[in-house]
């Protein structure tokens, strides 16, 4: 009996220590907000109480106190059913920690339920409780299946909606600086950020009729530059995009869909018509247009930018 009490006391002491260390390990090296820190502390506190109840239930078993076993076991089952009910009521993608918590709750709940039914002293009451508990667990499993189906359906619908909302646009190269009145919509980065650039590019972006394209920013010369003015293109819209630059390599366009998903495009500039005798814009910069826009992944873009920075400049296209 002494050994049981020693293990009970050790478990009671190690529970808060282990949970605090687990929280510290989970947040180590991560930048978290005060709200996230508060949420993590609340989760630790809830598990602290839950595991202490389990430890008290263990104590009630080795002292063979029937009342304490039903009290602590009943409280544990209430917490488990409440947690699982909330989880299944809000079917969303679960983290690995949350999935482990669901499995733990289910296994602990099954074990304690079977044990409590086993120790019920009244045979008639036990015969009534067994079908009731079976119905509850059967309903819980059914609810889990329904929640999983709803989540999968929502995920597929979301995937389809995102695919339909993806920006689709083409472009038209421009042979000379467009004159005022020759276009209806224009967009460009902040003029203050490009005041000292030597080259100026113009291109007409033509949006498809199937999506909305939001031109977010242009990357060149090692920095992202937010786009202003008519940057939201609805079905069939056309817009003249212009920006100034020095380095003709590592130029990218960032566009977004209506759900806030980002897409990245590599842009290749073309000095027009003769690089040795460049045409100048009204601002005195060398005129350029865009000869190619190709979608790339963010990883591809980051790698190309990193390689370009490492070599000082990218190699010209063959």
What contacts 66, CB < 8 A, 6 or more positions away? 119, 121
Q: What is the pLDDT of residue 94?
A: 59
* Mean pLDDT value of segment 69-78: 88
Would you say the C-alpha torsion 301, 307, 311, 312 has a positive or negative sign? positive
Q: What is the percent of the chain where pLDDT is above 70?
A: 90
For residues 288 and 272, the answer to whether their CB atoms sit within 8 Å is yes
Q: Where do we find the tokens 């995937």?
A: 159
Report the predicted TM-score, pTM, of the whole model to 2 decimal places: 0.60
Q: Rounded to whole angstroms, how far apart are CA atoms 211 and 261?
A: 13
- Mean per-residue pLDDT of the chain: 85
Q: How far apart are alpha carbons 58 and 55 in whole angstroms?
A: 5
Question: 110-119, 236-245, 256-265: lowest mean pLDDT where?
Answer: 110-119
pLDDT at 314 over 70: no
pLDDT band at 317 (very low <50, low <70, confident <90, very high): very low
Low-confidence winner among 61-65, 248-252, 314-318 (lowest mean pLDDT): 314-318
Q: Is the pLDDT of residue 308 over 90?
A: no
pLDDT for res 247: 92
Give 174's DSSP letter: -
| pLDDT (tens digit per residue) in 249-304 | 999 999 999 999 999 999 999 875 555 556 888 888 999 999 999 999 999 999 99
Point out the least confidently predicted range of 9-13, 26-30, 251-255.
Answer: 26-30
Of the pLDDT bands very low, low, confident and very high (cuts 50, 70, 90), residue 97 is low
Name the E strands within the chain.
169-173, 186-189, 199-207, 213-220, 223-229, 232-233, 238-245, 251-256, 262-271, 286-296
Instruction: Give per-residue pLDDT as tens, 133-190.
Output: 888 878 877 877 777 787 778 888 888 998 889 999 999 999 889 988 888 899 999 8
């Amino acid at each position: 009996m002494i050994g049981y009490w020693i293990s009970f006391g050790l478990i009671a002491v190690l529970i808060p220590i282990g949970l605090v260390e687990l929280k510290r390990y989970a947040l180590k090296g991560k930048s978290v907000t005060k709200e996230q820190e508060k949420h993590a502390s609340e989760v630790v506190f809830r598990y602290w109480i839950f595991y202490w109840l389990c430890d008290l239930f263990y104590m009630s078993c080795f002292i063979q106190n029937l009342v304490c076993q039903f009290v602590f076991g009943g409280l544990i089952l209430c917490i488990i059913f409440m947690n699982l009910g909330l989880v299944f009521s809000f079917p969303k993608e679960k983290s690995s920690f949350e999935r482990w918590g669901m499995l733990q709750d289910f296994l602990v709940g099954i074990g304690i339920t079977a044990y409590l039914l086993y120790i019920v002293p009244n045979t008639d009451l036990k015969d009534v409780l067994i079908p009731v508990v079976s119905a509850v667990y059967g309903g819980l499993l059914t609810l889990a299946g329904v929640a999983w189906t709803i989540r999968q359906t929502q995920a597929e619908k979301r995937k389809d909606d995102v695919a339909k909302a993806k920006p689709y646009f083409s472009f038209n190269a421009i042979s000379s600086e467009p004159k005022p009145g020759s276009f209806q919509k224009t967009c460009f980065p902040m003029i203050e950020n490009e005041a000292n650039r030597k080259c100026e590019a113009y291109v007409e972006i033509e949006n498809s009729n199937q999506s909305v394209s939001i031109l977010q920013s242009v990357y060149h010369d090692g920095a992202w530059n937010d786009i202003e003015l008519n940057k939201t293109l609805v079905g069939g819209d056309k817009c003249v995009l212009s920006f100034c630059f020095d380095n003709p390599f590592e130029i990218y366009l960032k566009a977004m869909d209506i759900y806030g998903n980002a897409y990245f495009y590599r842009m290749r500039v073309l000095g027009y018509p003769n690089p040795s005798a460049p045409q100048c814009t009204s601002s005195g910069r060398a005129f350029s247009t865009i000869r190619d826009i190709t979608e790339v992944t963010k990883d591809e873009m980051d790698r190309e930018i990193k390689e370009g920075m490492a070599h000082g400049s990218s190699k010209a296209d063959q």
